[in-house]
Chain A
Amino acid sequence: MTAMLRKELYVVGKQTRMMLVCVASFFLVPHFCFMGIIYLLAFSAGLTYSAAYDERRWDRFAAMLPVSPWKIVGSKYLFYMAAVCGTGAVAAVSGWVQTKLLGGPDTTAAAAMAAALAIGINAVFLPTLYRLGAARFQAILSIALAGAALLAIGGLITGSDIIGIYSGLFIDASRRELLLAAALAAAGNIPSFYLSVRFYANRRYGIYN
């Protein structure tokens, strides 16, 4: 498992560092209401990049190695969780600087909620990705993100309370809501992991080809 985590780090290390800088910058901006979305976007992009990369080259080689699909998929989940936690910590520090030094709103809850959502979304993303393959997954993800962006822009133009809803979800989240979101996200990853292993093994074995 350590070897697979190491390989993840080598492959997406640069992207992860860029993402950390990106998240830290956005959480420094006072009243930047879409920071959670930026956070999720950055993660989705990293995840799909890594998976597409693996599908193109590494998986073929990995099938020849004494490494089980459990370890390969497990390392993906672990790496993602570690990245979410690391980014959450960066966002929290950045948010603290923004609140204390720049006088903006407290973004701790937003950072925690974004991290919980990222973990929750991962529970859906990874099995979907392993089942459909990186190319189809990327296409679906692009459509979904474009839809979300249109919805947000449309809401802003038409004057609907999208910022209010968004603030309620992220910035104004209570401790109870945060704990619930984190628990749900973590629980969702358990069945997700088993499904992903099954899908990955089937895909590698040529069952979906």
Chain B
Amino acid sequence: MDNNVVEIKGLRKHYGGFELGSLDLELPAGCVLGLVGENGAGKSTTIRLIMDAVSRDAGQITVLGVDNQSPEFPAIKEDIGVVLDETCVPEVITARQLGKVMAGIYKNWDQAVYEGWLDKFQLPRNKKFKDYSRGMTMKLGIAAALSHHAKLLLLDEATSGLDPMVRDELLDVFADFAVEDGHAVLLSSHIVSDLEKICDYIAFLHKGKLALYEEKDALLDRYGILKCTKEQARNIPSEAVHSMRLGAYGAEALVERDCMPGDLLVERATLEDIILYLSKEDGQ
């Protein structure tokens, strides 16, 4: 399987007025890959394609060393924990009942682990799912995804709509999961600060195209924010500038640090800066 838990090559999917790809991505073992992009950029579609829950037009996807359209893939699903943006658990069932259903679905279901997560997340066992808050529903989905000894976690907007404290708690859970031997996490989100916190790799999907796929640290090293006068801005080498905003008093630009002259002060860019500027670059 090399060292990649997920490998995507030349993936394409077209439906309606939307086109995804061509997409080439790799998620190495022990890493967290953040999939970022605006609503409708193709993040959920990518996750559904990885699980072969929707047909693809072209390309190849390998998950845990197995082609996801091979007859062996259904068995590989045992090793994948998935949390969707909307936890699709029937709303009339309780956490206890969900445990019983899941125990019949996953061969490796570990009831003790599940009970442990319910305790950790302080989830009531006999409350119906429809009476859960958004945070509780996501926690229940995560508890279920973590209770069958999965090696890969696919999380589709698992932290959106949650308050910062709950998000922080869950990010720690994902980071802990990823460091275990052979594990990996793919986390899609449009909350870039969450991704910056735990991701090793960042993939930026913009209008269905892969605008960026790079190691997070390399990305943060490569780009910087330059704040200067309009006069100074005119003298910056064009190959260094990715996107520039001209204001009444000066200019602000996303630049490549290595291409910048040494006399200008380039500030550290956050992941959010990089994503925002790169998405604007496309519109310019």
Chain A residues proximal to chain B, CB less than 8 Å: 2-4, 6-7, 10-11, 14, 53, 57-61, 63-68, 204-207, 209
State how many angstroms separate the Cβ of A124 from the closest Cβ of chain B: 26
Given the interface pairs A7-B90, A53-B90, A206-B55, the reply to whether A60 lies near B78 with Cβ below 8 Å is no
A57 nearest in chain B by CB position? B88
Asked if B77 contacts A66 (CB within 8 A), the reply is yes
State how many angstroms separate the Cβ of A179 from the closest Cβ of chain B: 35
Report chain B residues within 8 Å CB of A6. 97, 100-101, 104
**A63 vs B55: C-alpha distance in the bound complex, in angstroms?**
12
B109 nearest in chain A by CB position? A3
**A67 vs B101: C-alpha distance in the bound complex, in angstroms?**
12
**A10 vs B104: C-alpha distance in the bound complex, in angstroms?**
14
Q: Which of B54, B91, B104 contacts A2 (CB 8 A)?
A: B104
Q: Which of A11, A61, A67 contacts B88 (CB 8 A)?
A: A61
Q: List 21 A-B contacts (CB under 8 A).
A: A2-B104, A3-B104, A6-B97, A6-B100, A7-B90, A7-B101, A10-B92, A10-B101, A57-B88, A57-B90, A58-B88, A61-B84, A61-B87, A61-B88, A63-B48, A64-B53, A64-B84, A64-B154, A66-B77, A205-B53, A206-B55
State how many angstroms separate the Cβ of B47 from the closest Cβ of chain A: 9
- The digit string for B136-151, where 1 denotes a CB below 8 A from any CB of A, is 0000000000000000
Report chain A residues within 8 Å CB of B84. 60-61, 64
B47 nearest in chain A by CB position? A64
**A2 vs B87: C-alpha distance in the bound complex, in angstroms?**
22
Given the interface pairs A66-B74, A68-B74, the reply to whether A60 lies near B104 with Cβ below 8 Å is no
State how many angstroms separate the Cβ of B142 from the closest Cβ of chain A: 14
B55 nearest in chain A by CB position? A205
B102 nearest in chain A by CB position? A3
Chain B residues proximal to chain A, CB less than 8 Å: 15, 48, 51, 53-55, 74-75, 77-78, 80, 82, 84, 86-93, 97, 100-106, 154
Asked if B90 contacts A10 (CB within 8 A), the reply is yes
Q: Which of A10, A65, A207 contacts B97 (CB 8 A)?
A: A10
Asked if A64 contacts B100 (CB within 8 A), the reply is no
B145 nearest in chain A by CB position? A64
Report chain B residues within 8 Å CB of A206. 15, 54-55
B141 nearest in chain A by CB position? A61
Report chain B residues within 8 Å CB of A67. 105
Report chain A residues within 8 Å CB of B104. 2-4, 6
Asked if A63 contacts B103 (CB within 8 A), the reply is no
**A63 vs B73: C-alpha distance in the bound complex, in angstroms?**
12
Report chain A residues within 8 Å CB of B89. 57-58, 61
* Those 3 A-B pairs whose CB atoms lie nearest each other, nearest first: A3-B104, A61-B88, A63-B53
Asked if B101 contacts A57 (CB within 8 A), the reply is no
Report chain B residues within 8 Å CB of A66. 74-75, 77-78, 105-106
State how many angstroms separate the Cβ of A1 from the closest Cβ of chain B: 8
State how many angstroms separate the Cβ of A122 from the closest Cβ of chain B: 21
Report chain A residues within 8 Å CB of B51. 63-64
Asked if A11 contacts B93 (CB within 8 A), the reply is yes
**A10 vs B101: C-alpha distance in the bound complex, in angstroms?**
10
**A209 vs B53: C-alpha distance in the bound complex, in angstroms?**
13
State how many angstroms separate the Cβ of A98 from the closest Cβ of chain B: 33
**A7 vs B88: C-alpha distance in the bound complex, in angstroms?**
13
**A6 vs B98: C-alpha distance in the bound complex, in angstroms?**
10
**A14 vs B80: C-alpha distance in the bound complex, in angstroms?**
32
State how many angstroms separate the Cβ of B122 from the closest Cβ of chain A: 23
Asked if A64 contacts B82 (CB within 8 A), the reply is yes
Q: Which of B54, B55, B78, B101 contacts A3 (CB 8 A)?
A: B101
Report chain B residues within 8 Å CB of A61. 82, 84, 87-89
**A64 vs B27: C-alpha distance in the bound complex, in angstroms?**
19
B79 nearest in chain A by CB position? A66
**A207 vs B101: C-alpha distance in the bound complex, in angstroms?**
28
**A207 vs B54: C-alpha distance in the bound complex, in angstroms?**
8
A56 nearest in chain B by CB position? B88
B54 nearest in chain A by CB position? A206
**A64 vs B48: C-alpha distance in the bound complex, in angstroms?**
8
**A169 vs B234: C-alpha distance in the bound complex, in angstroms?**
91
State how many angstroms separate the Cβ of B58 from the closest Cβ of chain A: 15
